[in-house]
Structure 1
Amino acid sequence: MITTDVLPDRVEMRAYGTLTLADCKAFEELSDYRVRFNHPVDLLIDLRSMTGCSLDVAMEEWRYVRAHQSDFGKIALLTDDQLVSWSAWVSQFFTEADIRIFESERSARRWLDKDSQLEDLADGELH
């Protein structure tokens, strides 16, 4: 099961239990919609409560990353699983996105928000 939040410049997803192909497709549909209107988009993907996924999910992830090489700016991945971390490292070869692994949601959000806050400062919007 997944939950998603779609923000103007970010899509956030949290996985619980076993990640299914239907979950992946639902996330992809929301991400594709946001990319269509606000390109590139950042992703926050929380897999800390994921207990597993099937081979078809892993294959779909690779297909999706390759199909969207320049659609994402930053991808913050929350996980403590070494296999997921390794998969993210390999994914970096197929995308222009900056992918980073985090154990803390606070650190991930701080990293995702860093450039947008700097842009706001440059525009004089933050005080």
Structure 2
Amino acid sequence: MIHLFKTHKDNLIAVKLEGKISKSDVEKIHPLIDKITEQGKKADFYLEMHDSHGYDLKGLWADLKVDASHLSDYGKIALVGEKKWQEWAAKGTNFFTGSEVKYFELKNKEQAMAWIKQ
């Protein structure tokens, strides 16, 4: 499940992820990416993961399609989590995109938000 929250940076998509991410969750994010890129900006992401279990199958497929269509449209990505696999996911994301990706432990989420807002 995805919970969006507001920030004061117009190209930042900030979400809290819990449980499994579904197709409908991904569909909430895609229009936000389009809105940012239509303004000629790159989309930055703050992804805070609480008891996150990845994707369900339809959610994974939807996310892969969105990412494939927007890989060059992503700016900075802050992944904030509590598990080792989330840190590995950050490293993998960094490898496959031209984005600047950083992983932060959940206890350092304020530092992550400060970094992404720079």
TM range (shorter): 0.7 to 0.9
TM-score, L = length of structure 2: 0.79
Which runs of 5 or more residues in structure 2 are unaligned? none
**Greater length-normalized contact order (CA 8 Å, ≥ 6 residues apart):** 2
Q: 1:38 to 1:106 in 2, by over 3 A?
A: farther
Residue 110 of structure 1: aligned partner: 114
User: How high is the sequence identity, in percent, across the aligned residues?
Assistant: 23
CA deviations 1:79-98 (Å, max 9, x no partner) are 12222332332222332111
Whether the 8 Å contact between 1:65 and 1:94 is mirrored in structure 2 is no
Structure 1 residue 37: deviation in Å?
1.7
Q: 1:93 aligns with which of 92, 95, 98?
A: 95
Q: Which residue, 83, 100, 112 being the options, matches 2:85?
A: 83
Q: Specify whether residues 37 and 49 from structure 1 end up closer, same or farther in structure 2 by C-alpha distance, changes over 3 A only.
A: farther
Instruction: Select the structure of larger CA radius of gyration.
Output: 1
CA distance in structure 2 between the aligned counterparts of 1:70 and 1:113, rounded to whole angstroms: 20
| Preserved CA contact (<8 Å) 1:66 1:94 | no
Q: Figure out how many residues of one structure are paired with residues of the other and give that number.
A: 114
Cα distance in 2 for residues equivalent to 1:54 and 1:84: 16
Map of 1:1-127 to 2, 5 A cutoff?
1-5=1-5, 7-103=9-105, 104-114=108-118
Q: CA deviation at 1:38?
A: 4.6
Shift of 1:75: 0.4
| Alpha-carbon distance in structure 1 between the residues aligned to 2:79 and 2:34 | 18
Q: TM-score, normalised by structure 1?
A: 0.74
CA RMSD, 1 decimal: 2.1
* Counterpart-to-counterpart distance in 1, 2:46 and 2:101: 10
